[in-house]
Amino acid sequence: MSVRLNTNYLSSFVSSEELANIQPQVNVAHELLTSRTGAGNDFLGWTTLPVDYDKEEFARIKAAAEKIKKSCDVFIAIGIGGSYLGSRAVIEFLKSPLYNNLPKDTPDIYFAGNTISAVAIDELLKICEGKDVCINVISKSGTTTEPAVAFRVLRALLEKKYGVEGARERIFVTTDKAKGTLKHFSDEAGYETFVVPDDVGGRFSVLTAVGLLPIAVAGIDIDGLMNGAAAAMEAYKCPDLAQNDCYKYAAIRNILYRKGKTTEILVGYELYAAMLNEWWKQLYGESEGKDQRGIFPASVIFSTDLHSLGQYIQDGMRNLFETVISVENNPVVFPIPDDPANIDGLNFLSDMDLNQVKKTAMQATLLAHVDGGVPNMLIELADRTEFSLGYLLYFFELACAISGYMLGVNPFNQPGVEAYKKNMFALLGKPGYEDARAALEARLG
């Protein structure tokens, strides 16, 4: 089992009776999801993706990644939200947050088009100077402002540098399978295209071409990811909480939320997990944060943030709970060197592997935070491999769907994301938005 939910630290907060009592609601959520009768049922493609993905496209992703690896020093993935968080999370988790700074035989990877910033695009162009560059623009519609602007700039750069013909070999487009101007333009221009499926929302898209192409460019085994996700899909078919850790995670979140634990902190113990936290925050925040409800998703990396948010978690408002991810098998070891001078008084740790110290710090923190009144769940991930991470991604996606249905929301829409966009287009003078402009401008302070 690649993922195990350890609830031993939860016993003073959630009883087994409570879990038994909520089983009927879990069953309802399970039925809504599997019968495809729940809200948002047009967006359930991710549920079966690990087995029914497009094998021909999958092979093209691998081939494109090989081509990209051979032809560039810098690969730029252009996308925002679900169009970059998944791939970035996987690359940092399996490779490193310092991937670009470490020696390797794959290209540097940068993420662009995820913000509106003159400084950021200016810096990216500096980084590209004198380097061979390939890009992958990832946008369902092709009209989202942030990636569209980055694509304008970087396509122009490539065409200037390599000519229109040369640029064609360096531009890869992940977009709608048929609709939209980006798809049409790409076909005309001769760019290789990949598909953002119609029935998979952005935050559930990491195991589609959206995530997989950048992930493959980093030299990560995408078969392993898919196999892990497929194993999780198989493992979580029965809704019985005694057998289904994924549903159990969803159920416990729901129980805690109803007790006033309205903020969940996802805790990692390695810096390489920081972007996985960010992916999870979008997944849960966007799926559940609606209709004036939902658990607020926050995240930390310990022990780092024990020296930052640790004080609050130990002693602050008691509306928190923590979900801790522990990677169990750590092949990279590092024994603490002995210091004859023992300046720091730590010679009692000499020769102890840092993984052992890390694990002890985690146990110590679990006990301390539980004593402080913070419910803690522990997700034990077998190892830092493609298979286990694919398993975990599916675990979180499935738990999110069950959790959202238990909460009584549509876990697959994001109506609130449109509000700022409508205002922005009106204020920027986009054709069709003229009516709202004057009223908005009058409110600006």
Q: 1, 20, 98, 164: which one contacts its own copies (CB under 8 A)? A: 98
Beta strands in 290-360 (DSSP E): 296-301, 320-329
Closest CB to its own copies among residues 224, 373: 373
36 binding its own copies? (CB under 8 A) = no
Site string for its own copies, 141-160 (x = CB under 8 A): -xx-xx-xx-xxx--x----
Select the residue interacting with its own copies from 23, 71, 106, 304 (CB under 8 A). Answer: 304
Is the backbone peptide bond immediately before 205 cis, with ω within 30 degrees of 0? no
> Least distance (Å) from its own copies to the CB of residue 349?
6
Q: How many CB atoms lie within 10 A of CB 132?
A: 15
Is 311 among the residues that bind its own copies (CB under 8 A)? yes
Q: How far is the CB of 98 from its own copies (least distance, A)?
A: 6
Measured from the CB atom, the residue of 26 and 313 that comes closer to its own copies is 313
State yes or no: residue 39 binds its own copies (CB under 8 A).
no
Q: Please state the closest distance from residue 183 (CB atom) to its own copies, in A.
A: 10
Binding test (CB under 8 A) with its own copies, winner from 70, 291, 408, 434: 291
Nearest residue to 135 via CA among 163, 166, 171, 182: 171
Residues 6 or more apart in contact with residue 279 via CB below 8 angstroms:
85, 86, 88, 89, 206
Residue type, 304: T
One residue of 20, 59, 63, 271 binding its own copies per CB under 8 A = 271
Q: Which of 154, 160, 162 is closest to 127 using CA atoms?
A: 154
Query: Is position 254 an interface residue for its own copies (rule: CB under 8 A)?
Result: no
The active-site residue out of 56, 129, 307, 418 is 307
Nearer to its own copies, 108 or 239 (CB): 108
Q: Enumerate residues 336-395 that contact its own copies by CB under 8 A.
A: 336-337, 339, 341, 343-346, 348-349, 352-355, 357-358, 360-361, 363-365, 367-369, 371-373
**Residue 434 contacts its own copies per CB under 8 A:** no
Q: Is 307 an active-site residue?
A: yes
Q: Number of helices and strands (H, E) in the chain?
A: 16, 10
- Member of 294, 375, 404, 411 binding its own copies (CB under 8 A): 294
Whole-number Cα distances in Å, 265 to 140, 272, 305, 370:
31, 17, 12, 14
Task: With CA atoms as reference, report the closest residue to 83 among 45, 138, 44, 144.
Answer: 138
Q: Establish whether 358 is a catalytic residue.
A: no
Q: Which of 286, 288, 322, 386 is catalytic?
A: 286
Q: How far is the CB of 350 from its own copies (least distance, A)?
A: 9
Say which amino acid occupies 180. Answer: G
Q: Which of 70, 131, 421, 422 is catalytic?
A: 421
Q: Which contacts of 233-241 are long-range, i.e. CB under 8 A and separated by 24 or more positions?
A: 233/47, 233/48, 233/50, 233/51, 233/394, 233/398, 235/1, 236/395, 236/398, 239/23, 239/26, 239/27, 239/30, 240/23, 241/19, 241/20, 241/22, 241/23, 241/26
State which residue, 239 or 264, has the beta carbon closest to its own copies.
264
380 catalytic? Reply is no
Site for its own copies in 195-234 (CB under 8 A): 202
Binds its own copies (CB under 8 A): choice among 80, 233, 275, 325: 80
Judge contact between 245 and 5, C-beta under 8 A: yes
Query: Which CB sits closer to its own copies, 55 or 102?
Result: 102
Piece in contact with its own copies (CB under 8 A), picked from 27-35, 36-44, 55-63, 414-422: 414-422
Asked whether the beta carbons of 217 and 75 are under 8 A apart, the reply is: yes
Label residues 255-275 b or e (16+ Cβ within 10 Å = b): bbbeeebbebbbbbbbebbbb
In angstroms, rounded to a whole number, what is the distance separating the alpha carbons of residues 298 and 434? 37
Q: Which of 47, 282, 323, 410 binds its own copies (CB under 8 A)?
A: 282
Q: In this chain, which of 50, 82, 201, 239 binds its own copies, going by CB under 8 A?
A: 82
Question: Which residues have a catalytic role annotated?
Answer: 286, 307, 421
